[in-house]
Structure 1
Amino acid sequence: MDNICKMAKPDSESESESDVSYTEPGIAENPVSDLFPPTDIILEVEGIDIHVNKQVLMDNSDVFKAMFESEFREKHEEKIPLPGKNYDDFVEFLSTFYPPTCAPITEETILKVAPLADEYEVDSVQRQCESFLREVCQKACDDKCNTIQVSVLVNYVACAEKYRMTSVLPLAIRLCAERSTCLLRKAGLHTKISEETANQIFDSREKMTEEGVKSCLLKGYLHVSSTMKLFWGSFNNDERKIYEKILVDACKLASKNYTSMVSSITVNDLLDIIITAEQNQLKDLLSAAIELASKCGFEDISACKHYDTLSSSTKFNICSERFKSMDNYYSRYFARGNPTKTIDRAYRLK
């Protein structure tokens, strides 16, 4: 459907179809004819003609099948106007099932395509939409921090509810429950979903808050991911800076007295901090946590279950800091004429 997308919209209602131009040189007047099945019907959207094949539409859409096979007036029409439709959205919709493109669903197209797939009863595209949203929401649920924008989450849960995406709705509800009630309301939650679904979100939020607070109390404030899930979305910029500074200072203190680090920050806590800093782009915290991680035993760090989730650049920076620390210790202790302590310290850094 790429060639259809290249058709320019008329600048005004008075501009005729013959004024429509194509952006690529060498393309025939009807760019669809060479790539698509022979066209025998025209769909008119926002005054623009889309040449398509009737059989392709019937094979994929129950609505189009009924339109062309039953005694509707469209059965004998050569051009069918589709009022109220957006041209770009409709082209995106067609591109998901019309050969030869069959374009995949993306974050940019999901909310445009899903309503049309439901309206025209294109089962294959409906399944694609549900599968895409399920994967996106499941990935966000599996991540340490939910980074999807609140407004997008609200649209996802509304889409899942309206178009009966039963495998998506529980995940979307869970993700919304991780955000503050204030932000959800600002994103128009109550105007976009049913009262029943809204109550499910707030009930989940209440339960999650109770469990999260208990977790934070039991594990201490350094259990960063629990704190982030609960409060980060409702922190203002100043509060976020304060919380980040608390963690930075804790990492620096532990780094300065790293021999007693086991009693203050565990290795699992440290990886939790690093992952959270990566996901939320907290550069100062990431730098301080990497410096601390470089002073921990490599076997202890790499044995943690979340080590593999660290980015390659962070792993490299930890190793780089480790070698830098070892060089500093070698230089310092050899300069003092105390090679025994140098070897001992280097051993602990291995």
Structure 2
Amino acid sequence: MNDENGDRGDAAPPGDEPRVTAGAAAVRDARRWLSRRSVLIAGASGLAVTGLAVGTATGKLPFSQALQRTVGVTSSNPTTQLGSTRVERVYSAARGRMVDLVFILPSKTPPRGLPMSLMLHGLHGNARSAAPTGTLKQLASDVARKAVPAFGFVAVDGGDNYWHQVHPGDDPMAMLLEEVPQWLRARGFAGPSGLPFACTGVSMGGFGALVYTRRRVERRQPPSAVATLAPALITSWPEMAKRHIFTGVQDWTALDPLRHIDETKTVANGIWCGTEDSFITGVRRYIEAAHPAVAHTAHGKHGDPFNRTVVPSVISFLGKHVPRAD
């Protein structure tokens, strides 16, 4: 007799219990245990894969180590450990407001005094979006396999005024120069001085990074390196005037990095830009005049799709200038 579950012609008559030997019972119980365990592992694996996708983006794995081990995403090998990000809200007296302070760290337990690079965001950006896609993963991986010495990034909300004071009481450059070292030192980063060893900037943040480097040189506290991705090096006043950031051409030229290249020539310099980027003309002028240690131009437009492709090169460049531990 057949039914929907298949041929059952050898079934026991109704009301009779089939005789089961001890060996057969053991096999049956083992099969049931294995089947249940397989279902549990499959479910756990699905959850862990979903969690790993989230964790890779955030730098934090949301599951226990036991569950992570189920799908092989943890190991005693340090190269499998992801870095971490931390976000704090702090009050900036220089800006007259609360700002986000974001740390991008190569491990969840970074060493005390960890060298730090500033990471300056672009126009309409903020501290949380300052770093190009893939920065955390690349940093953590490179540090874990000792391709570069350990260091981290710190980002902070700087507004949209090209990292200089436009309105009284809002001076993002003063925040970088005066307050960031205090915040870093208080949290055990950047050594006793709290000074970042480098400055990295994207777009408007690239403009700001070059201005910041110049200010540090003027203070006789030069950073070891500056790295800029598609820096907003605008070559004409009519174009810059559209941004309503500077009071006039003299205000702009006093800060324009293209007009102050000699002041920062002692600082190791890296610059990256897409050839279809609107800032490529200014970048090429800068490269021709400054002769940076790294001058990379390749096909690409302005924005993260290009920036993420050069993250490994940026991390490698900065790694060459991390100060040695005392």
Structure-1-length-normalised TM-score: 0.28
Which one has the bigger helix percentage? 1
Relative contact order, CA 8 A, sep 6+: which one is greater? 2
Task: Choose between structure 1 and 2: higher strand proportion.
Answer: 2
